[in-house]
Structure 1
Amino acid sequence: MENRAKTSAVEQQQYQQQQYQQQYSSNRSSSLYKDDKSWEEGNNALHHFPTHPDLPQGNARDGKDEISHHENAQRGNSPRREATRNGNRPDGNGADFEDVPQSTSSRVEKTRAMMGLRPEAPIVEEHDNADHADLRWAIFRGALKEPFAEFFGTLILVAFGNGSVAQVMLSAGETAAPGGNGFGEYQSINWGWGLGVMLGIYVAGDSGAYLNPALTFTNCVLRKLPWRRFPIYFIAQLLGGFVGSGIVYANYINKINTYEGGAGIRTVPPAPKATAGLFCTFPQGDLTKASQFFSEFIASAFLMFVIFALKDDSNKGSFSASGSWFPLALFFLVFGLGASFGWETGYAINLARDFGPRLMAYALGYGNELWSAGGYYFWIPMVAPFCGALFGGVMYDIAIYTGPSPINTPYFGLKKLLLPHKAIKDRVKAQEKDALV
């Protein structure tokens, strides 16, 4: 009887572990804002799954234990490298173990783990070509694929957005334009920013397409995005904004010289011919500090609230989840924010979109007035989006969201933070009750 009970427990444990593996595999296939949360949950489920003392650490096959994909990642072995070791190269030619550098994959996966990224870069299997997978650039790209995606996504966002501002401002009064009064108007700017966001999301799909440090921060707090991922995403987004604004300047430098009145003349609002507004935002002159802050705060709150709604499968109602329509929905969201909240402060709602270009403008000679203009307004587009996005996310979780969130735990998650030992004891007791330990 004792042996039968032990066998039954082992079989039950095998079945449960298979279910977790299936859940983990399906979670890896999700994308955008859901992929980070799902991957973390699946990864934690496998990594912390309690094993029965009599259960072998793998599935017996020909006298050997089969190593799971997750275990391969933990040991620094990619699926491609494992296939190569077994003589199953993508080109159909077998290879000896010594033909493959043993340290390459391990270095990449350790680097990615340090940054909070998935051990394996999101590369389609048929694109993981053994002929170039061990080249230096392929290794570097595999380690930093998501930060590169955030960099170029933000670059496109700022290039299209600031480009629309430059075209509208610098062409004002051009009689050769259709209508005889320049190439564009205020709504053209909103179109530019909306399209920039939409196209940036398409470019940065593998990284989650945050393109905004405030959104990244809020997802770390409320959606289990690894905190170690925040610094590298922050740097990538800031550099993307910096370079994107530089591209716009290089394209319009001659028109900027003409507009300002000569080469080397660079002015900041409220100067009548100031062009610093091509790079970063400045408030209307009659706004108080409270009004400046609230304008950026409320626009950022709406941005985060609607994004969480678009990515919430449990709130689809009569509509399906946004899915492939998500970038288009963000286009309309950003366009609407500009049309409704853009006048007073320029609706930066993004540190990378404002501070990165502001640094570029400073490097190009716009001077210290960039920091003192508007009563030292520069810090508001840096701080208010973080406060607003977090507020919008918290409000959505309080009122609508039913999934895993600190808001949906006792004491808004503070209980787990302050009493971690109690949570550990409760988990051990539950495992003992289920005869798993």
Structure 2
Amino acid sequence: MSATEAPAVQDGSAGADGTDGTGVPAFAVRAALARPPVRFLLSSWPLRCWAHLAGGALLGAAALLTLVVLAFTGGVLAVVGVGLLLLACTALLGIPVAAVERRRLRLVEPTALTSPHRPPPRAGAWRRLRHRWTERATWREFDYLILLGVVFAAAGLAVLALLALSCAYVVSPLIVWALAPETVMLIPGHAVPGPPAAVPFSVAGVAGLVLSAYAAGWLTLAQVRTAWFLLSPREDRMREHAIELTRSRARLADAFAAERRRIERDLHDGAQQQLVALTMTLGLAEVELRDSDPEAAALVARGREEARRALEQLRDLVRGIHPQVLTDHGLAAAVAEVALRTPVPVAVDIRLPRRLPAPVETTAYFAVLEGLANAARHSGASHVGVTGRFEGGRLVLLVEDDGRGGVDPARGTGLSGLADRLAVLDGRLVVESPAGGPTRLRMEVPCSA
């Protein structure tokens, strides 16, 4: 079995590429927050968000403390030169913190963040350090360290404090009962005489737990989005370049198709009409010379036959450049017409809900044409089947024959060119051809290309 696939350019949307329509990933925690409240509160998401905030608070506090110590020590020792090195190393502190954070985010986000750093040079510690200092990703990670240690750690501790207070209020009737007859003050200046008086605090604790769960979810979402923005690789330029390449490729394909139609029109309206007129003129000359000069009439008749054959060849050429039936009646009718001219019996089953864009129909037509030509010339098949369906926004065509198989795209059977033709519209070709057959060509063309 062998396979040839046309290269594809991927680009991004909310259902197709995992984004929310603005290029930002559709994070799992955001989908969890969009659930009905009961489903969210009874799921594992509140626990995961609280655990994430607790870990972030510890990591941020430790990283910020380390940063302060390094900066203070570096400032003190700057007069002897060693401090300058310590101050320079503070900028690199964000690298290990970001590495830990990418792993820690797997608690709430199944899609792992990859490192944005390029591999450093192998020779010399100084060159490796300088490489890291000059990377923009290093400074983005340092910015994230500051945000994590100052903003997210403080906000996370506030949410966790609300969680602890809410848990204490929920079990406050049990606390009052266990400490009786001691006086319990659940809020400053307000003594609770007995367990029944603590029930309102228990209700408030339940409300606090709900508030804490949603606060933890939204704070976690903010932290995940910030991490995605600062800690993930920046592919903006590559994505813009890929989009521009796709657009320029589509423009070239449209220009090529327009040029083919122009050549077809010129041949049809020019050379073909001249050959028709020449054939008619030679026919009239043959009639005039038939009685007076039979030998000259025979020469004219032979010239007329050659002109007729040239006209047939020109018609075949025009039909191969851009068949009129494809323009007038669509892909199914055009493929059915080709099947009638193929020396091997061909069964055509193409069912499409509507006419497809002209570039897609043209590309698909010539792809099927190439597949049928390969089957007729090389496979030794006695039957060929062509099926076509519209699946998920893509035109899927199958060309199957019962030949000897063993097709190798590298042997120049035209499959490489066929894959290149499909690649123009971001399509692909998959070839399955085990030795002994059968051969199966699967061609896919995005109809949005």
More strand by share: 2
* TM-score, scaled relative to structure 2: 0.21
Report the structure number with the largest CA radius of gyration: 2
* TM-score, scaled relative to structure 1: 0.22
